[in-house]
């Protein structure tokens, strides 16, 4: 039997969806027929985002995932919600995250921001028996000596995904995560362009290419779809084989 994913009549919210991985996932959800709202922290990112897609227009709104009040305000008028994708994330490079204030800032966005969004969206998701896709990382599994908060936050996303999946199964909300490998986005480009690090990453990559945001879309669509109806609490690496090496 053919498995056709049709998200017509479904509504998705993608944090960090104005660029990079979030945008790739937002476009894939729209292609599957969902109505998609994307968010970014800055007006500049929203202004730079191409909201018109071949599959319809993405609604774009400003949202800081560290701001509880802003999240509540957004959701007050939001209507139904079927899928939440938590792609908002940040990193402070070159050891800056060893400063406590910066460590806490990164954790507040990457980890607590994900919990804030899940928690705030739970009532709407429960009404629709919805699904959440969190964004973990290869750094969920490997050391991140130059970005310890980033690494800790991404390891914790794997754990949070499991915990919420178990806690909220009774609400019929599934929660899974994707652990992207090296994806060419503005967040990862400094590593890609680093003359020392870039070639080392490529040497280890079995598929011999960096991933693209579009490479993340299919897995996110699958995780939201009825084909994943019995899947919750897992983190799927989508990494060109990087973690298999
Ligand atoms: N690229 C990779 O290789 C890779 C690998 C593994 C995991 N990831 C994860 O993938 C996710 C997306 O990153 P990306 O690579 O696609 O980079 P990106 O294009 O820079 O996307 C990051 C997004 O997060 C938003 N954001 C940052 N702080 C925020 C806040 N306080 N509130 C709301 N939104 C905020 C950014 O908005 P502004 O543009 O307005 O700041 C941007 O839209 C992140 O969680 C990242 O950790 C990336």
Domain boundaries, the chain: 11-236
Going by alpha carbons, the residue nearest to atom 17 of ligand 1 is: 187
Q: Determine the distance separating the centroid of ligand 1 and the alpha carbon of 93, expressed in angstroms.
A: 14
Q: Indicate the DSSP class of residue 58.
A: P
Give catalytic status of residue 230 as yes or no. Answer: no
User: What is d(CA 179, CA 240) in angstroms, rounded to the nearest whole number?
Assistant: 11
pLDDT at 3: 78
Q: Determine the distance separating the centroid of ligand 1 and the alpha carbon of 128, expressed in angstroms.
A: 27
- Site to probe by mutation for ligand 1, drawn from 13, 185, 194, 210 as the one with most ligand atoms within 8 Å of Cβ, is 185
- Site to probe by mutation for ligand 1, drawn from 17, 89, 238, 239 as the one with most ligand atoms within 8 Å of Cβ, is 89
Which one of the listed residues 23, 55, 98, 150 is annotated catalytic?
A: 150
Going by alpha carbons, the residue nearest to atom 42 of ligand 1 is: 16
Among 59, 164, 75, 67, smallest CA distance to 108 is for 67
Residue 142, classed as helix, strand or coil, is coil
Closest atom of ligand 1 relative to the 191 alpha carbon: 3
Going by alpha carbons, the residue nearest to atom 19 of ligand 1 is: 20
pLDDT at 60: 97
Closest atom of ligand 1 relative to the 24 alpha carbon: 16
pLDDT at 1: 56
CA-based torsion, 202, 114, 65, 153: positive or negative: negative
How would you write the pLDDT of the chain (245 residues) with one tens digit per residue?
567 999 999 999 999 999 999 999 999 999 999 999 999 999 999 999 999 999 999 999 999 999 999 999 999 999 999 999 999 999 998 889 999 999 999 999 999 999 999 999 999 999 999 999 999 999 999 999 999 999 999 999 999 999 999 999 999 999 999 999 999 999 999 989 999 999 999 999 999 999 999 999 999 999 999 999 999 999 999 999 999 98
Does ligand 1 lie within 6 Å of residue 137's CB atom? yes
Q: Determine the distance separating the centroid of ligand 1 and the alpha carbon of 87, expressed in angstroms.
A: 6
Beta-ladder partners of 85: 14, 133
The token pair at 25 is: 């996932």
The token pair at 68 is: 């509880």
Going by alpha carbons, the residue nearest to atom 2 of ligand 1 is: 183
Going by alpha carbons, the residue nearest to atom 14 of ligand 1 is: 20
Q: Name the class of domain 11-236.
A: alpha beta
Among 119, 99, 116, 120, smallest CA distance to 108 is for 116
């Amino acid at each position: 039997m053919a498995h056709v994913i049709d998200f017509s009549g479904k509504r998705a919210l993608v944090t960090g969806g104005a660029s990079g991985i979030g945008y790739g996932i937002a476009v894939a959800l729209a292609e599957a027929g969902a109505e998609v709202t994307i968010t970014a922290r800055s007006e500049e990112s929203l202004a730079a985002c191409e909201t018109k897609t071949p599959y319809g227009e993405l609604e774009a709104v400003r949202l800081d995932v560290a701001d509880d009040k802003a999240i509540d305000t957004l959701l007050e008028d939001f209507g139904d919600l079927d899928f939440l994708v938590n792609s908002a994330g940040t990193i402070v490079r070159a050891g800056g995250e060893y400063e406590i204030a910066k460590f806490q800032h990164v954790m507040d966005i990457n980890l607590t921001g994900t919990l804030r969004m899940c928690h705030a969206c739970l009532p709407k998701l429960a009404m629709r028996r919805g699904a959440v896709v969190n964004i973990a990382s290869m750094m969920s599994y490997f050391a991140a000596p130059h970005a310890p908060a980033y690494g800790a936050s991404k390891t914790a996303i794997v754990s949070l995904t499991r915990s919420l999946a178990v806690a909220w199964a009774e609400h019929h909300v599934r929660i899974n995560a994707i652990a992207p490998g090296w994806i060419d986005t503005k967040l990862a480009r400094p590593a890609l362009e680093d003359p020392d690090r870039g070639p080392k990453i490529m040497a280890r990559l079995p598929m011999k290419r960096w991933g693209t945001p579009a490479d993340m879309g299919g897995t996110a669509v699958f995780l939201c779809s009825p084909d994943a109806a019995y899947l919750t609490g897992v983190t799927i690496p989508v990494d060109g084989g990087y973690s298999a090496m």
